[in-house]
């Protein structure tokens, strides 16, 4: 288990403040946040490459805060791969073996296993400059994995790849994580990568962790305005509360299903949680509003509807088929419904 306690780092013009993070063994943990949030810096601090000003890093209960990087057994794969340009692929992968007492047999076994798993056997004799992006990625992974690290740090591992290879690499990462049983900590700012790879995660902003938890929880229950905005919670309204109801703009009463203590706050609903129908639905959904379609944005696989209810715009995602079946166009009157459980109070 990786335990980070009150970690603070001070660099020229940048700082990390009081980072607290626990990552369980074998977990695939995602670190998200906008550019400049300090994600890469945190990775480098965990690897021991940057000295913290304060705080503690523990691996399996052992304090490693002042251990040099070569003693930590933490692998790192950078976005730009950082292969050793003067060494062949084979030499790159074998590099870490020099510094660890491993039996020749075991060395061979690991090498063969990785060469096959990551499909790099045909390129072992090549130099990094002659490799494609995907091949470099694989070599960087193999190089980090050969010393059996306790933790593998991945710095935006997919962002430099063409979309075609991206899907493939994503699958491969998932397989590697499964088969090697290593804890993964991945930095990413692509939601679809995170959604399909990671179980738990954290959102960083300006050197601080804003939210931490299950990925689905972060996406469905953002605890701050920033997180809601960052994960694409497109329906975000300032509301006043009255018993179990949240009132938007003194006009729309939303049933939240729970009694609220504050008198003011924010209410958020994910656009995909809003159901659209032509007739008023008789269902378990407690919130039903009548509105008019103001705009339809084509996002390819899905469409974004802007629906005006009492001068408030709700955004909903629907499939192309729904657009056709419900014959939706600008000006159509529709009903929008959502469960009390889909509502997030911030």
DSSP secondary structure code for residue 87 in this structure: S
Q: How far is the CB of 190 from its own copies (least distance, A)?
A: 7
223 to 85, 165, 229: CA distances (angstroms): 45, 34, 11
Whole-angstrom distance, CA of residue 22 vs CA of residue 57: 10
Contact 160, 192 (CB under 8 A): no
Closest listed residue to residue 295, CA positions, set 308, 310, 276: 308
Q: How far is the CB of 148 from another protein (least distance, A)?
A: 11
Q: Does 179 bind its own copies (CB under 8 A)?
A: no
Q: How far is the CB of 133 from another protein (least distance, A)?
A: 16
CA angle, corner 212, sides to 167 and 231, nearest 5? Answer: 55
Token couple for 333:
């009157």
* Chain-centroid distance, C-alpha 130: 31
Q: Does 249 bind its own copies (CB under 8 A)?
A: no
Number of chain residues interacting with its own copies (CB under 8 A)? 24
Q: How far is the CB of 239 from its own copies (least distance, A)?
A: 23
Q: Which of the stretches 2-10, 67-75, 169-177, 299-307 binds another protein when contact is defined by CB under 8 A?
A: 67-75
Q: Which of the stretches 97-105, 184-192, 280-288, 322-330 binds its own copies when contact is defined by CB under 8 A?
A: 184-192
Nearer to its own copies, 270 or 344 (CB): 270
DSSP secondary structure code for residue 292 in this structure: E
Q: Does 96 bind another protein (CB under 8 A)?
A: yes
Residue reference for tokens 């400059």: 129
- Quick one: which of 61, 62, 71, 329 contacts another protein (CB under 8 A)? 71
Whole-angstrom distance, CA of residue 159 vs CA of residue 166: 8
- Quick one: which of 196, 220, 244, 288 contacts its own copies (CB under 8 A)? 196
Contacting positions for its own copies (CB under 8 A): 34-35, 162-164, 167, 171, 174, 189-192, 194-196, 229-230, 232, 272, 297-301
Judged by the rule CB under 8 A, the positions of this chain that interact with another protein are: 12, 44, 47-49, 68-72, 74-76, 78, 80, 82-86, 95-96, 98-100, 129, 143-144, 147, 149
């Amino acid at each position: 288990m990786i335990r980070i306690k009150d970690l603070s780092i001070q660099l020229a013009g940048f700082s990390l403040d009081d980072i607290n993070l626990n990552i369980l063994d074998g977990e695939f943990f995602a670190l998200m946040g906008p550019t400049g949030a300090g994600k890469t810096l945190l990775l480098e601090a965990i690897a021991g490459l940057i000295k913290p000003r304060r705080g503690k890093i523990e691996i399996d209960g052992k304090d490693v805060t002042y251990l040099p990087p070569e003693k930590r057994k933490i692998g790192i794969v950078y976005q730009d791969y950082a292969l050793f340009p003067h060494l062949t692929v084979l030499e790159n992968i074998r590099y870490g073996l020099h510094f660890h007492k491993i039996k020749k047999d075991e060395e061979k076994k690991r090498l063969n296993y990785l060469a096959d798993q990551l499909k790099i056997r045909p390129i072992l004799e090549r130099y990094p400059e002659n490799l494609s992006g995907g091949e470099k990625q694989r070599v960087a992974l193999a190089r980090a994995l050969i010393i059996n690290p306790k933790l593998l740090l991945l710095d935006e591992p997919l962002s430099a790849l063409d979309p075609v290879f991206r899907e493939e690499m994503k699958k491969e990462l998932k397989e590697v994580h499964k088969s090697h049983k290593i804890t993964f900590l991945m930095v990413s700012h692509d939601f679809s990568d995170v959604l399909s790879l990671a179980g738990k995660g954290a959102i960083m902003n300006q050197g601080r962790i804003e939210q931490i938890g299950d990925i689905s929880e972060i996406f469905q229950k953002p605890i701050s305005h920033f997180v809601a905005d960052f994960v694409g919670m497109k329906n975000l309204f300032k509301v006043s509360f009255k018993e179990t109801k949240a009132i938007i703009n003194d006009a729309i009463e939303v049933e939240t299903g729970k009694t609220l203590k504050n008198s003011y706050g924010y209410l958020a609903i994910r656009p995909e949680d809003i159901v659209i129908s032509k007739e008023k639905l008789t269902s378990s959904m407690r919130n039903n509003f009548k509105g008019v379609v103001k705009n339809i944005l084509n996002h390819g696989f899905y469409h974004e509807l802007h629906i005006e209810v009492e001068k408030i715009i709700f955004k909903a995602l629907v499939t192309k088929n729904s657009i056709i079946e419900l014959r939706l166009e600008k000006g159509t009157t529709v009903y929008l419904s959502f469960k009390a459980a889909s509502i997030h109070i911030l």
